[in-house]
Chain A
Amino acid sequence: MPERTASSDRTASERAYVVRRVGQALLVIALVYTIVFFTLFVLPGDPVENKLTSPQNPLPPSAAEALLRYYQLDLSPFAQFAVGLGRLVRGDLGFSLVSGKPVVDLLAQGLSDTVVLAALAFVLTVGLSLAIALTAVFAPWGSLRSLAASVPVLSISAPSFLVGFLLLTVFSFQLGWVSSIRDQGLASYVLPAVTLAIAVNGPLSQVLVQGLTKARREPFVDVLRAKGVGERRIALGHVLRNGAVPAVTMLGLIVGELFAGAVVVETVFSRTGLGFVTFESVRDQDTPVILAVVLLVSTLYVLVNLVTDLLYPRLDPRIVRRTATGRRRTPKAAVA
């Protein structure tokens, strides 16, 4: 019986924690949406205003009024905010001011493409980081170890558009293995995913190198060695498990980085994912699309952080959550 009480206590406090974190997450999303909405009002220029002020196609005032009325841009900022919120509640994200396409379609198009790209890049990033870190810590030659240790710094400082263009030059223009412009299914994702992995793996690799280096010096390694466990098993079975814990927390951040990195990578590879949708909408100040992208990306980001935080204690039983005071890891929403 006492055991049952203890466990139900823990469940209750856990539930309170989850509810609080979900509440915080919703608040962050709402704040980001509101701030971006009003920031866009302060910034000069939008597609409709540009249409009206362009000396190429000047419109008589009567036509301009009709156009503003059509887009409800004649309302006050607060009234427009209310209209936008009302639609949002009904799941209506509106239409792009530039292309006239439903924002939902644009997001669906962008997300379906970028999710595959980001997932592939995520796998590559993890693989790349593991390879780099294991080499940097366990390689038998000192020169190879220091070479591997310098890779993260190199990849952080290599601009994506350059890496992407180099890959295109070699594999598309020279070897002709994959098209630079046409969608050839999964094959077309490889080069952009590699570019993206190179762009975002740096911090993860570094944390992993540090974690492994530290874990390797822990006393338990000596104990294992004394027990006669082989070096390979020590490295892959024990040091890696212990040293990788800080890196796991970083995975949440990596997801954000992947979406941000997609903006550049998708332009270089002429892909039309979420990065492209973001780039185009910001360039044209296409308010409905920008707002929807912000909503989507901040939700994703907050969600990933929430999941990471909730999973964290389960991955490493030594970590105990202090439910009362709480680690206030308020996630920063990425506004693309």
Chain B
Amino acid sequence: MNRRHLAAAVTALALALSGCATAATGSGAPQDGGTLTYLDAEIPTSAQVQESGTWQTRALQQNVTDRLVYRNAETGELEPWVAESWEVAPDGLTYTFVIRDGVTYSDGSALDATSVARNLEWQSAGDAEKGTTPNAQFPSGLTARADDATRTVVVTLTSPYAPFLNVLTSWSAGLVADATIDAPKEEQQRFVHLIGSGPFVVESEEYGKEIVLVRREGYAWAPPSSPNQGEAHLAKVVVIPVLEDSVRLGTLRAGEGDVIRYVQPSEEKGLVDAGFHVVAGTGVGLSNQWFLRSSAPFLDDVRVRHALQRLIDRDTIVDTLYTDSWSPATSVLAPGTFGYQDVSDEFAFEPDAAAALLDEAGFTQRDADGYRTKGGQRLTVKTYIDVYDNTAKSLFQAIQQQLKEAGIDLQLNELDYSTYWATAFKDPEVGFLRVGWPHPDPSRGLQQYYSKDGQDLLGLQGSDARLQELLDAQTAAVDDATRQDLLAQTQQHLVEQGYVVPVLDDSQVFVTAERVEGFRLTDGALPEFSTTSLTQ
């Protein structure tokens, strides 16, 4: 069986601190029925499983499909779900899953061993003919053999892949019926064609307007630790995208909406005073961080990178711009993530130490504007404001101000949503950019960012052999203790070398009306509607 219990004990405390909050629950049994109006800040676009990328899409996929393995958001522990048990061979090459009996998809077809095997192979290989890409978190070359008589699926990998069980808990690992897999890509992208076994079924979809979820009749296969083992309490969930912040908020306050996703931090207090509940959570994965590119001007000097890490006063930023729902980052990983280690001592706010580092690096002169110079060149660092975070602009400006006091000229540039990746990541002048979002597995996440075989955001091309070795070794470390140790060393190394500046532990912030009960967030900070109920 899995040996994740030690890890769970460590992460449980961290998670309790990181605030996986639940809306206040009243006394007595949750009321049955009713329609919950959920106002999202964005438009869910594509339901295609492997491409699951945006918060608003994941929120739906989470509630419409089930996964093999469940990660308890409170304890961080892996628990059975559609797989009632599993066994990992010592060599890490074979996984044997026993599939829960009697699970069906909403179209009536069976979620049996055969279906699981097909899903896993489909996730691993994609479907080139349909333009369906493989799921980037899955190991490639996976083969799965099903035996419906014994309800077992035997998965064989070509090489050990330690992140596998974590990946199976992911929002992008939802199991879907043959009807979805067989459909053309354009149909797979529609939510009404996302046929899962989850507690809700997509009843209708009007693009950009609303998506209606109805509860799945006869649902009886929630994760054993869920407070609701049966059908969802709510009869319906109507998901309506309301893009304008002020309109979304006004609609909630006027009583027409029950839950909204995302409010400006400055609004939170007024809402709580008015009787609303703020439910916020940090998903497991990577913290909100900057990667520093040593190929950019001045950043080849590790002393300058170290100075940048020590010049951000995170506590002040959280106090002035954010609320209790947010916290300063303490590592490259978010608290509660498998293998997380607090390395905040390495980048504490130390302006004096940073000034000494910059002096040492030769930036001793100051120009007319008060910026440090070396050989007549101003210490300028260029970046683009993150387009994915609604609070990014004020955050970047606050940091710009803090760096200015230390004599560093932070140049902020803005791009629109569609051109951001393509322009910002290709710009050789760029010193850093923001990355860091929830990820089902930390090793896979770090490899995708920082390995030479991933995006290689640092641009090292493997020149830091130790970093590459640490990242590579995690894939095969099927022993949890070994992998935790490697993860700890990796976090330490990324910070020590001045490669990464952890900034914040990001939060997904939801506001619920007083009549909403039991609304809670998953390990990935997604809304869970099956435990939610309405009192009126």
Interface residues of A (CB under 8 A from B): 43-47, 49-51, 53-60, 63-64, 66-67, 69-71, 95, 98-102, 106, 109, 161, 165, 168-169, 172-174, 176, 179-183, 267-270, 272, 276-277, 280, 282-285
Contacts and interface: CB of A to CB of B under 8 A. Distances in A.
6 contacts: A45-B419, A57-B51, A172-B251, A270-B240, A280-B208, A285-B418
A43 B419 contact: yes
Contacts of A109: 206-207
B136 A100 contact: no
Interface stretch (B98-106, B149-157, B181-189, B480-488): B181-189
Given A100-B186, A181-B257, A270 B243 contact: yes
B527 interface: no
A99 B45 contact: yes
B134 A63 contact: yes
Which DSSP category, helix, strand, loop or mixed, fits chain B's interface?
Answer: loop
A173 B187 CA distance: 37
B368 interface: no
B254 A180 contact: yes
B1 interface: no
B254 A60 contact: no
Nearest to B189: A100
Interface stretch (B83-91, B393-401, B447-455): B447-455
Interface residues of B, number: 57
Contact of B423 (A44, A102, A180): A44
Contacts of B247: 165, 168, 180-181, 268-270
A60 B421 contact: no
Given A66-B133, A100-B189, A55 B126 contact: no
A99 to B, nearest CB: 5
B425 A53 contact: yes
A270 B240 CA distance: 9
Contacts of B140: 60
B376 interface: no
A172 B136 CA distance: 45
B53 interface: yes
Contact of B189 (A54, A99, A285): A99
Contact of A58 (B136, B241, B242, B250): B136
B371 interface: no
B244 interface: yes
Contacts of A44: 419, 422-423, 426
B242 A100 contact: no
B46 A46 contact: no
B66 to A, nearest CB: 22
Contacts of A165: 244, 246-247, 250
A165 B439 CA distance: 37
B438 to A, nearest CB: 10
Given A98-B46, A267-B244, A280-B208, A173 B251 contact: yes
B459 to A, nearest CB: 13
Contacts of B425: 53
B290 to A, nearest CB: 13
Contacts of B63: none
Nearest to B241: A270
Contacts of A69: 131
Given A58-B455, A101-B186, A270-B243, A183 B419 contact: no
Contacts of A51: 51, 53, 133
B435 interface: yes
B43 A280 contact: yes
A57 B53 contact: yes
Given A57-B51, A270-B242, A45 B422 contact: yes
Contact of A268 (B133, B244, B426, B448): B244
A64 B418 CA distance: 19
A282 B418 CA distance: 8
